[in-house]
Each structure stands twice: as C-alpha cells, then as structure tokens.
Amino acid sequence: MHTDAAAAPSRLAHHFPDMKTQEHAARMGMWLFLSTEILLFAVLFTAYAVYRFLFPQGFDEASKLAHVAMGATNTVVLITSSLTVALAIHYARLGENRKVVGLLGVTILFGLTFMVLKGFEYHHHWVDGQLPGRLYHYAGLQGPGVSMYFTIYFLMTGLHGLHVLIGMSVLGWVAWRAGRGEFGPGYSTPVELSGLYWHLVDLIWIFLFPLLYLM
Amino acid sequence: MTATTHSEGKHLGPVHYVLVWAALMVLTGVTLAVWKTDLSHSGRVVAALAIATVKAALVAVVFMHLWEEQGIARLVLLVSALFVALLIGLVMADNATRFPYANPPYSESWKDDPWRNEAPPMQADPGPVRVSPKTATEHPASHKP
C-alpha cells in the first residue's frame, strides 16, 4: 500500500492547497461534464417523447419488434457491471490494486457482452429491414410513425453504444494504471471519475430499456 | 482507510453496493412484470418511468457516491434533471397545443379534423406486395380519359 506522504506531493497541482480540494474540484468537473452528457441524451429523449406523442399507434406496434430478451439481458449485464465498478473504486481507495485490475477487467468483459448482444439485435433488425427513415422496408408492419421509431431507436442505442465503447477504453487505461500500483488512500481520482462515467452510461440505459423495448 | 477526500462517517462499503445491486435487479424484474400485465397505455408509461427514476436515484446516490459528496457537486445532477424536465415538458406542451396542420401528416393531432386525409391503416401483414396495383392505376398520372 502506498503511503499518503509518498504519493500526495507529486500528484498535487500547484494551484490547489491540498489533495482534498484537488479531488473535490476533479469530481465537481466530472459532474459538470456528466450534466452535459445528460443534456445531450435529453435532446434525443425529447425527440422520442414528441414522436411517441404524435404517432402513439406507430410506436406501440414498432416497439413490439424490439428484442426484449436481449434488451433485458443487457440491462442485467450493465447493472452488474456498475456493481463491479463501484467495488473497484472501493478497493482503489484501499490501495488493493490487484483487485482493482480484476474488477475493472470483469467490467470491460461485461461491456463487451453488452456490445455483442447489441450487435445481434442490430443484425436482426438489419436482416428484417427494420431500419431508420426511408431505409425501412419491413413488409410485416407499415404505417405512419413506424420508421420514426427505428430512427430514434438506432440514434439512441447507437449513441449509447458509443458511450459504452468509450467507457470500456477509459476503464482499460485505468486498469493498466492500477496494474502499476498507482492507486491508494491518497490518490484514486482516475478510478472514481471513470467509474462515474460508467455509472452514467448505466443510468441512461435504465431509462432507454423500458422506453424503447417495453411500451 | 478513511480517505482524506470524504467526510467522516458517511462511507459506503461493499455490503451497500451489493444490496443496491440486488434492489436494482428486483426493480428490473418489476419493470418486466408490469410490461407483462395488461395495464393501460398511460399506466405503463407512468409505471416504467417511476421505476426507472427510482433505479436511477439508487445508482446516483450509492454507486456514484452522491451520498458521500459534499458541497455544490450534489446540486449538479438535480439542476440537470430540472433542465431535462423543462426541455421535455415545454416541447411537449408546444406539440400538444398546436394548430393540427403544424404537426406532421397522419399524426395524432390530425385525428379529430374533419378535412384530414385518412391515414393509411396499420398493416399487420400485407404480404409481399407493398404498392397495390389498384392504387397505382388510380394515380392521376396514369388515369385514362
């Protein structure tokens, strides 16, 4: 385990009086960034709300074409990955870097599982012609608003999937740093902040799943 | 072990995380159970959003450590939630109160208008033919005198 005295002075930027203030500022900055992410997704949730309001029947019928089993499995996968990240932060604060590496590795595997299942879903929609806008050519369901559902489905899950990929990369980088034994009681900010990002990705999926799959 | 970065006595541990994970699993089950029932459409929307909000609050407060957070950082999430509500609420209010033709063709707003064009009906399975020959021959361009 690292001692505070050894780790703290080199980590402290000159414009902060102490590590406590520095980490508080870092978390504050991360929360501000996350709020911009929330507003980015909020625009798409607004589009969803508007078109669901304008085409209730089209959205009802189209959302029955979503693959609920895979979506529900992905919900379980992401929530469990949030648990492993929360535990990784806990052990990073204790300086148990080997556990951090293991837990972040498991989290990345969960992320990979999520993306593979998402890929299968996309493949099914692709084969069936359930595509956005005028690319939609599924004969089994035609009507106003139906292709708009798939436009919004692909936009929202696509942007969310991109965030999963970014989260996996960041967690991989943090796991590599944990492997070098960098984290301990005096310094765990990178694990905390990347963990916040991963939790936000989970949080957005918690809303996406019922709205897109279960209406 | 108490890190220098957080207030004393508010620390969350693995037990809390596992309990919250279990609660999130149960709530996911409840979401799916509600979906299986034949609740009314608006009932489903309200139930799904209520459960999702509880789940999101659990993630934010425990997993994202808002419980341990101090000062203004605790306010950021609430403020962004307020702005999300404003955005969705005002845009919906706009769409719901428009002159019907200001909304897209065949949308809900056109429903009660006597002059509207009939929306093409939802087709469960129209078969392989997507453009019916009848419609094609009745098109003005192909109309014979």
Measured at the CA of B30, the angle between CA A151 and CA B42, to 5 degrees, comes to 55
Residue A112 pLDDT: 98
Place B140 in a pLDDT band, splitting at 50, 70 and 90: very low
CATH number for the domain harbouring residue A147:
1.20.120.80
For residue range A90-131, list pLDDT tens digits in order.
999 999 999 999 999 999 999 999 999 999 999 999 999 999
Domain that holds residue A69: 56-213
Is there a domain that residue A122 lies in?
yes
Is there a domain that residue A14 lies in?
no
Is there a domain that residue A62 lies in?
yes
For residue range B6-20, list pLDDT tens digits in order.
444 567 889 999 999
- The CA distance from A101 to B68, in Å, is 24
Task: Provide the number of structural domains found in chain A.
Answer: 1
Residue B117 pLDDT: 56
Contact B41/A at CB under 8 A:
yes
Contact assessment for residue B63 and residue A78, using Cβ atoms and an 8 Å cutoff: no
Quote ipTM for the complex. 0.89
Residue B43 pLDDT: 87
Least CB-CB distance to B123: which of A56, A142, A145?
A: A142
The interface residues of chain B toward chain A in range 64-103, judged by CB-CB distance below 8 A, are 64-65, 69-73, 76-77, 79-81, 83-84, 87-88, 91-92, 95-96, 103
Is there a domain that residue A83 lies in?
yes
Q: Which among A82, A100, A215 is the top mutation candidate for probing chain B, defined by the most B β-carbons within 10 Å of its own β-carbon?
A: A82
Residue B115 pLDDT: 58
Place B113 in a pLDDT band, splitting at 50, 70 and 90: low
Residue B116 has pLDDT above 60, yes or no: no
Task: Choose among B87, B91, B121: nearest CA to B103.
Answer: B91
Q: Which among B64, B68, B78 is the top mutation candidate for probing chain A, defined by the most A β-carbons within 10 Å of its own β-carbon?
A: B64
- The CA distance from A214 to B11, in Å, is 36
Segment B82-109 mean pLDDT = 88
